[in-house]
Chains A and B, each alone.
Chain A
Amino acid sequence: MTVEHHLRQNTLGAKMRRVGSLVRKETRQIIRDPSSIALGIVLPVLLILLFGYGLSLDVTNVPVAVVVEDPSPAATELAASFQLSPYFDVRLMTSMPQAQQLMLTRKVDGVIRIRPDFGRQLSLGDAEVQLLVHGVDANHARIIQTYAQGALGQWMAKQTAQGQGVLSGPVIVQNRLWFNEANESRYFLVPGLIVLIMTLIGAFLTSLVVAREWERGTMEALFVTPVRPDEILLGKTLPYFALGMIGLTLCLLAAKFLFQVPFRGSVAVLTGASMLYLLVALAIGLWISSAVKSQFVASQIALLVTFLPAVMLSGFLFDLHSMPAMVRLVTYALPARYYVTLLQTIFLAGDIWAVILPNIGMLAAMAAVLLFLTRKSMQKKLA
């Protein structure tokens, strides 16, 4: 190899050309393989629609049986206040065994029982309303309990107002929910979804594709070409980076126009944060695949260290405040945690720099470390 030749290889133009052809090859591979398109475009759209329209943690129309065993006017009025509640879909009945049968077959999720001596006990100042809940879905059961308490409270307040001697209070709690006045779980599920999609494309898909090159030996074939390791890295990263950004754009458009999720921050900050997170995810994906070099194992590890934490440990679905202290400590090591915080803040609260700066800083540091590690594992050498 002459010196001249060597120099020519190192010019910027030659570098760009090499990266360009790698990117072209990778892009064609994505477009021509239905499964990549499916994961990169179809799955995000499917998830957006499912999360936007279908999945909701807000419980309405819970089927319950209200058993009125007492014919007194107070009992009838109380039963009516359960019927008026928008949260319950009430079936009125008078026999407890019938209600229990409905519960056994899961036709109702709860039974509210107003006992035969309700009216008399109430006048004595010591009445009891029984609630039986189907406890298998504990969260659902607890929500039903809260709603029942609420319906009872409303009835008491009405009695107080009518001077019936039933007193509520004296301290009344007034709740105000900032950033999400309507209390729609969609408002935090749809932004949180972005983290899942970016993780899937960045880490899962990339680890699979690069591991395949190792498994099939085409990576070795690449090594004998004049392409440099960092050019391979760039050529692999750019197309999936673009795919991830397409996913982000789809999510943003859907959130804004389809689901009317409020967006109070700035698009620029969101894009910056998302690019950083995508880099982190890509680096993890590349690193895993060049470490294990097998499609099955790489995808399993990618799911375990990126996707599962993004669903379970990021605060997207299960709040960080509900985790045991030990687990909460682990979440500090997970990039998804910082990204979810950023997404929820930028969407619902706005550009609050006291939240944005530390979280973006963590993501940037992680990106730098992981890209360095990936670059080191991408040496042109055979195992």
Chain B
Amino acid sequence: MLDAIFRILALTRKELLAILKDPRSRFSLFIPPILQCLIYGYVATYDLTDVPYAALDQDRSAASSKLLSGLDGSGIFRRVADLNRAADIKTMINERRALLVIQIDQDFERRLASGMQANVQVIADGRNSNTAGTAMGYVSAIVETFNAGWRAEHGQGRVPIRLTTRAWYNPNLETRWHMIPALIGTLTLLQTLLLTALSVAREREQGTFDQLLVTPFRPVEIMAGKAMPSMLVGIMQATLVLLVAQLWFRIPFAGSFFTLYAGLTVFLLAAVGIGLLLSSVAATMQQAMLFSFMLIMPFSLLSGLTTPISSMPELLQYLTLINPLRYAIDMAHRVYLEGVGLRLLFSELWPLAIIAAVTLSGASWMFRHRLA
């Protein structure tokens, strides 16, 4: 038994050397995760910071210019043109010079003054309907502010009912708080899967796997020796993401590190299991790489990170139940932002443990019967 452990450790050491001795592979293990963290932190948001718009103000009254100045003063909207004719709306939108056009009719102020309701038309470029929807939401909020001001000035009283929002776990609703902790799962899955699959495929392609088989190593020991280094690299990368999240983006960590790393270990077992299973199918490095990439794509698309799981059709929602990344991301969020302990994490941990058990035993069967 002790001998077996020593053999596994020796293989682990050799694998780690093989991974870390090449400066280019060292580079590709640690620089891309940091870069991706930064890109996701700064880019992955649906909030808008700069919306070019055009105004078609046919009223040219005090009221209409007050409304438009509310937009200009928001810091988000940037007026790129003042239009004179309704026909110009088409060119502004079509040629992408403005994301939206605000049209105010001639009788805007007159209607308001006589106590009637007045319309403001917002025409938005729907080529990206999500962006357009967000921008229109911003316009509505600014118009609400205008309304409240108008009512106060003209003695119509306050709006009698209002909605106050409080957000749990992420008080300012920053997308970054959602994205970066999720990367702890996403990035480590990508690299662990790839490393595990490649390390076996490389030996098979170069023929050194056969040499390994004539040593006293048993197939299961070879498997363990291949799994350990990938898990270590995975833990290192997760730590890297954690450091960027806390030191660079300053996202407060609500949970305990012990819980996070304990959960991470279960997740990495599942990831390595999938990688090993994959490597027993792939005969060459190219196949290992392409197959793992093909797994990563649906895993990350169906993880609920970019589009919510509850918006998916029912069939796909069931499919996400076998996706380890879904649980890893949930787990990272719950520990990092919600601060839950191991007991409450149980609902994420047991599916991961099952995935790990199934893939690892499947891989060990393949190692004993197909490769050896």
Chain A interface (Cβ < 8 Å from any Cβ of B)? 33-36, 38-39, 42-43, 46-47, 50-51, 53-63, 103, 109, 122, 125-142, 145-146, 148-149, 152, 156, 165-181, 183-185, 187-188, 204-205, 208-209, 212, 292, 294-297, 299-301, 303-304, 308, 312-313, 315, 317-319, 321-325, 327, 341, 344-345, 348-350, 352, 354-355
Contact = CB atoms under 8 A, between A and B. Distances in A.
Contacts, number: 313
Contact of B122 (A36, A173, A205, A349): A173
B167 A174 contact: no
23 contacts: A35-B290, A36-B286, A38-B294, A47-B297, A56-B307, A126-B160, A127-B161, A128-B161, A133-B167, A134-B168, A140-B308, A170-B117, A170-B151, A173-B119, A177-B133, A178-B124, A185-B130, A212-B285, A299-B289, A304-B35, A313-B39, A321-B99, A354-B94
A323 B43 contact: yes
A109 to B, nearest CB: 8
Interface residues of B, number: 103
A218 B248 CA distance: 45
Contact of A171 (B25, B117, B170, B311): B117
B370 interface: no
Contacts of A156: 159, 161
A300 B28 contact: yes
User: What are the nearest 6 A-B pairs in CB distance?
Assistant: A135-B167, A135-B170, A180-B126, A35-B290, A35-B287, A177-B126
A208 B290 contact: yes
Interface in B153-168: 156-168
Contacts of A324: 42, 49
B362 interface: no
Contacts of B133: 177, 183
B24 A166 contact: no
B291 A59 contact: no
Given A152-B163, A166-B161, A176-B124, A138 B170 contact: yes
Nearest to B336: A136
Contact of A131 (B139, B163, B316): B163
Nearest to B167: A135
B341 interface: no
Contact of B294 (A42, A134, A308, A325): A42
Given A33-B286, A56-B307, A103-B168, A170 B126 contact: no
Contacts of A54: 301-302, 312-313, 316
Contacts of B307: 55-57
B129 A133 contact: no
B215 interface: no
A313 B43 contact: yes
Of the listed residues B140, B160, B163, the one surrounded by the most CB atoms of chain A closer than 10 A to its CB is B160
Nearest to B94: A352
Contact of B126 (A134, A140, A178): A178
A179 B51 CA distance: 18
A152 B119 CA distance: 19
B161 A129 contact: yes
B257 interface: no
A125 B170 contact: no
Contact of A36 (B139, B290, B302): B290
Contacts of B123: 176, 178
Nearest to B97: A354
B127 A138 contact: no
Contacts of B95: 352, 354-355
A296 B178 contact: no
Interface stretch (B7-15, B142-150, B258-266): B142-150
Contacts of B36: 308
A56 B175 contact: no
Given A133-B167, A139-B45, 16 more contacts: A35-B290, A43-B297, A46-B298, A56-B307, A125-B158, A129-B162, A132-B167, A135-B173, A136-B333, A140-B308, A166-B161, A171-B119, A176-B122, A179-B127, A299-B289, A313-B43
A136 B178 contact: yes
A338 to B, nearest CB: 12
A169 B148 CA distance: 9
A15 B140 CA distance: 65
Given A54-B302, A55-B307, A297-B24, A171 B286 contact: no
Contact of A132 (B159, B166, B301, B333): B166
Interface string B275-308: 0000000101111011101100110011000111
B167 A141 contact: yes
Nearest to A144: B165
Contacts of B6: none
Contacts of A127: 160-162
Contacts of B267: none
A136 B333 CA distance: 7
A145 B165 contact: yes
Contacts of B46: 57, 139, 318-319, 322
Contacts of B174: 138
B39 A312 contact: yes
